[in-house]
Chains A and B, each alone.
Chain A
Amino acid sequence: MLLQLRNVFKWVQQGGQRIFLLKDINLEVAEGEFISIMGPSGSGKSTLLNVIGMLDTFDEGEYDFLSESVHTLKEKYRSNLYKEYIGFVFQSYHLLDDLTVEENLEMPLLYKKIKGSERKALVADMLDRFNIVGKKDLFPTQLSGGQQQLVGVARALIGKPKLILADEPTGNLNSQQSEEIMQLFKKLNEEEGVTIIQVTHSEKNAEYGSRIINLLDGRKI
């Protein structure tokens, strides 16, 4: 078992009323799964993803990650936990425009205090694996959307996470680029056993996964 959510609620107070963002969510994810979260806008997909990624808190319920109780952990341990085990991929890539492809890949390693020579090796390895060695000195703005997202995925993977959280990773891409990214996810999942949870609007993309979770108004249906 990688993670487990039990009776998770999240709400905001608006004009004396509780607006529920997540309502009684129960979810178990085993290692090696590939899950797609679907649902209309405002149904709480991204919120759920952020809660799983520990970027966001929740108001009620329990969350275990690798048998640590996330809801009782202090902020510092929580961030250590996600730094260690989780990689994020975003719809708008979120690469640092001031850094080259190579430097963008290197950044998470810096924060993990990995030595220079080892960083170099890991980055070179990743560039090689994603076939972007020739682009290592380019800046994100010099790349196509698909290439940027490729870098985004590479960056998420470089810390060797157990779990990849992808928030509409193909939302800004055309169909051919989408296809490539989804193939990549599938390959990572199948060949390397990386657990993947993605939020998507696309039925087609959702089918790459092994399981689909549908949300409506913060509730699992």
Chain B
Amino acid sequence: MKYKLLLGVLALASIKAYAVEGVVVNDRGAPVAGAIVKGLSSAQAVVTDEQGRFFLQGDSNEIHVMAAGYSHRMLHLHEQEDGAIVVTLSNTVIEQVDVIGLPVHASVIESSVPVTVLSGDALRRQQAATLGDSLGRQPGVNTNFHGSVASTPVIRGLSGPRVLITQNNLDVSDVSRVGPDHSVASEVSTAQQLEVLRGPATLFYGSGAIGGVVNVVDRRVPISSETRGEVLLSRESVDKQNLASFNASSGTDNFAFYVDGFSRESDDYDVPVALDGEKTVANSDEESSGYTLGSSYLLDNGYVGISVGRLDREYGIPGHSHGGHEGEEEGVYADLEQDRYQLISEINLDSPWLNAIHTRASYTDYSHSEIEGGVVGTQFFNQSSELRVDLFHRELAHWKGAINLHYKNSEVEAEGEEAFTPPSESETFALALMEERHFGDVLVQMGARIEHVTVSADRVLLPSIEVHGHDAEEEHHDHGDEVSRVFAVDHDFSPFSVSLGAVWDFMPGYNLGISVSRSQRAPSASELLSFGPHIGTGAYEVGALFALHEEDGELHFALSDSDFELETSNNIDLTFRKHEGDVGIILNFFYNQIDDYYYQGATGLFAESGHDHDHGGEGEHEDELPVYLFSHADAEFYGFEAQGIWKLNQHWQTTVFSDYVHAELSDGTVLPRTPPLRFGADLEYSGERTSATLSWTRYAKQSDVADLETTTDGYDMVDASVSYRLPIGSKDVTLFLKAENLGDTEALVHTSFIKDIAPRPGRNFTVGIRGEF
């Protein structure tokens, strides 16, 4: 009976050996057609018919039922009596989609950790050329906007090696975690949904996920042979972007096939206020294309499939240009290539031990070259392989869960003048256990993960660079033999993460979540081993392996004496959700205390970049960069995300949201590029054929700034969109018009490394057509 209370289900259910049947109705008793009913495996899914009926093959202890506009339902089939199941869905204003990135079935309202999913029309409306910009309006997520070409998401003020980007739960395997000018090697226009796990997710993903995870989900490994597809053509005004993308799947009884492709081309984008006399951001153009092919073998108890994907991307790197003669700018652009192979399988088992085995494996070969005037300046390579195996055990004393085995290997290499990190190999073995159980109205989720991480680098260089302060009289350069010390470095880390959470359905349609976690992260190779100029961040970066020593009044770098601590996050998340009825509310509060937070501290010193970016300028230190040294100190992050949705009537709905994060080191130093307070509102209309949105976002002024950082003014962004579904048979063809930054407001992005040279684009109109079949 407790499950009936817990889930608000009016059900008489049966546990049949090899099939489950039932009917889905709404809370007025009317059948819900088109609801998706899933068993444990996502392959085990059916859609209800006109009468709301479903018949699910295979054995399952639980079913998940979801339908547009209704709150997601999960039913436990324990101790149910024979008979057809009646599932009652309550209407909701909160979009509820299954989170693929969590190993256990969950939707946004069922998890103790805060999750956001962007999918369907909302995804298409917000998709941008880069991942960060696509997610930049999600609660708790900001973009580190890098001139429209290379943004990555900032989750609760954390980014870089703390936010893991995954593609179908597998590491995206690029070098975007190392530099803000490195694009994320994943494409949004062909993706099915974007998932954001805010807060520590090391339990599921390991070291790189201490700040959160962004999972890009597509159907590259198809799970059904249903024939469906999507085509999109659009044109944007601000950067003359043309985009064409499609994805389609089909198949036979046993085989499913998938194909997608996209092509995008854009020019430098316009800005409202001239920069250096030009109302465009120089070198912000982009050209990319890619395709994916996938195929699966469909089994009675699951599927196994593989996919091959190719991504090519060429993009200018704003702010990374060499002045040519007579003031002409010569842009540096990046040429990125990636081949990705994935194997995904979900097999349901009839074993006394295990319910199912989910396997995900990938091999990715990534390279990108930074090209200056036709000559390759720096090349980055990342070859990685990964294997995740989730073993779902049979329910034990009502605990359900899985053991996760995880292996990841990544060989990263950089060659050329900005190769600031030595070649390194990082290897991770991990074992994790995730369990959940309902105790009455309370769902308890817990888990632990032990990892073994090795970071090996054969040739870590410590060049004898000259560093000096700027007030000191410039010394003569010593051109004697320059000696670089060479080290072979092997780091072994054993991060351990543990998490305990609970979701209490204290009354129907409401819940309260709490999640307490202690997560550890091994510092990344670039944080440990870097030594060299990094033009993308405008810094001479020195890893934590090194420290400044003073000898005879002269400063030089030598090996650090201090230990390399694991970064440890102690995080508390509180979540309140009202998820049924015409008003939906989600509130999250978090407090994250991080011990040994690795950060780059300004040393006040300067070193030669080895790369003069200025021709004949008179600047005193034109070819020098400030030296930043990675070190660790305790840090504190706290903040909130709030979202309220009110359905005014059948056609109109309004949403308000706000988020905030405060980030500082224990000595009170504010961390740089922390997102400002933000709030906003949307008004949405959805008619039979026409739908429209009007949205407003206010970014407050950010005056909590780090040393050497400047404050950033606040600004308002107003966007609007209209779409019209053409009356063409059963096909769904939609024309849309989208307007962004209607006020043509100059907007500097505080989270960007290049906020002063690359503000957000000016007023932009997008016109396009989208078809689904």
A and B interact: no
* B contacts, CB < 8 Å to A: none
